[in-house]
Amino acid sequence: MTGSFAVLVGSLPLPLLVGLGGALGALGRYAADAALGGGRRSTVAVNVIGSVALGALVASSPSDATLALAGTGFCGAFTTFSSFAVNVVRAADTGDYRLAAADALGTLATALLGVGIGWWLAGFW
C-alpha cells in the first residue's frame, strides 16, 4: 500500500485491522453465496479464490498491517474451512463417500493450486 491510505492503515492496531478485514471478508463471502447460490459450489469457489489471493499476498512480502487486514482479516473471513468440513461430513453421512472424498481431495488440491497461482502471479506485480 502507498500514500495516505497506507499511513492510516499502518497507524491502526493490528487487532483492529484484522477485525476490519474480517468484516469486509464476511461481506464478500455473503456476496459470493448470493451470486453462486450457496452450498458446495460457493464454498469451493471462495476457498480457491481466497487461496489465490492469500498466495499472492504472502508472496509479495506485505507489511504486518497489510497482512493483518487483507490476509488474516479478509481472506480468513472470506474463505471457510468449517463449511468445507460440513460439506464433506454431510456427503459421507448420506453414504455418498465418493462425493465426500472428491470434495475433500478436490478442495485441497484446488486450494493448493490456487496458492501456487497466486504466488506465481505476485511475481508479475
* Residue 76 in marked binding region: yes
39 is in an annotated binding site: no
pLDDT in the model for residue 1: 54
Residues lower than pLDDT 70 in the chain: 1-2, 125
pLDDT at 28: 97
Grid coordinates belonging to 25? 471478508
For helices 97-122 and 81-93, what crossing angle results, to 10°?
Answer: 160
Summarize pLDDT for 91-105 with one digit per residue, the tens: 999 999 999 999 999
Which pLDDT score is estimated for 4?
Answer: 76
